[in-house]
Amino acid sequence: MHALWLVELTAAMALQTPIWSQQSSGLPGAKVKGYWTFSRQRLNQWHEQLHRIREQLNRPGAIRRAALWAEAQPVIEEVLLSEMLTRYFACFTNHLERHRTDLDSSPIARNIFQGHLEVRNRCLQLLVFAPGLPVELSVHLNRIRHLMERWSDQLFAGLADDMDVEPYCFELEHVQEMARERSVGEDAVSNRLWWSLLLAGFRGNVSGRLDRRSNSPRLNGMIAQQILGMVSHDQFDGLGLLKSIRMRSLESICEETDGRDDRVPYQLSTPLDTLLAPQRETIRINRLH
């Protein structure tokens, strides 16, 4: 599984945050444990790869430096792309902890988030201080870094106001400004359109320029499975897709009406019924006579 799909997963989960955050129980402990296990394995793998590449780059001679940087490219891209999911999950579990819904998941998510920041800093140090970095690759990786920071902040700007995004975003002022802009005339349709345009813009700016080699396909897939496993099965439709906020609202209305007395008839009042009511009453009276 390429790390690009983790960005798609993050956008899908962030869109469902108003529903996901309303659950009355905590996240499944087995899935949270699996998220920590596979994320820690991936962090250790990144550290080993970056340490080996840096040692070989610092050796005298530039014969193999081009090949080493080609080997480092998918590692650095994966670190930068997967950071959005790590930040979002840490922010979401912190929200659950503050509302006393789940007190165990947030420390685990913060631990993975801190570990991801350490690997990110090692990648940036490698780009700045390691010798032999091609100019084209330097521009490409720095552009991905900048875009991921902007997209992450836009994602946090679309979350609920009561979520504490400051420890997990890059520029709080930027997030607050975008949140104010989105709050003007916002409704469910415009909100979903905003998310769709955000994801489409990300695909157009990043996906076509990435290295197609996946550095940790198995671990990325396992982490995605743990995240999806934390979502209740009733939030998916028959096609395996996450239900929209409107669909969940309609289902909640149906659940509320299920407890009512079935003997009470339901009458749907429409403008046409209102206009025809006097005429129907007159016809009924004439028939009685």
Is the same domain home to 178 and 265? Answer: no
pLDDT for the residue 17: 78
Interacting residues of 125 by C-beta distance below 8 A, sequence separation 6+: none
Residue at 134 is within a domain: yes
What is the tens place of the pLDDT at every residue in 127-177? Answer: 999 888 999 999 999 999 999 999 899 889 888 778 889 999 999 988 888
Residue at 250 is within a domain: no
Tally the domains of the chain. 2
Is the same domain home to 67 and 125? Answer: yes
pLDDT for the residue 167: 92
Residue at 251 is within a domain: no
Is the same domain home to 240 and 262? Answer: no
Is the same domain home to 67 and 199? Answer: yes
Residue at 249 is within a domain: no
Residue at 172 is within a domain: yes
What is the tens place of the pLDDT at every residue in 28-50? Answer: 899 999 999 999 999 999 999 99
Is the same domain home to 214 and 265? Answer: no
Is the same domain home to 184 and 278? Answer: no
pTM: 0.78
| Run of H or E including 224 | helix 217-229
Is the same domain home to 74 and 160? Answer: yes
Is the same domain home to 152 and 265? Answer: no
The answer to whether residues 17 and 92 touch, using CB atoms and an 8 Å cutoff, is: yes
What is the tens place of the pLDDT at every residue in 193-216? Answer: 766 777 777 777 776 678 888 899
Strand-pair partners of 236: 242
What is the tens place of the pLDDT at every residue in 166-190? Answer: 999 999 988 888 888 776 655 655 6
Helix axes 135-157, 188-206, angle to 10 degrees: 170
CB-based burial, 264-273: b 16+ in 10 Å, e otherwise = eeeeeeeeee
Range of the domain at 202: 4-244
Percent of the chain with pLDDT over 70: 73
Is the same domain home to 79 and 124? Answer: yes
Is the same domain home to 284 and 179? Answer: no
The answer to whether residues 182 and 157 touch, using CB atoms and an 8 Å cutoff, is: yes
What is the tens place of the pLDDT at every residue in 45-101? Answer: 999 999 999 999 888 776 788 889 999 999 999 999 999 999 999 999 999 898 888
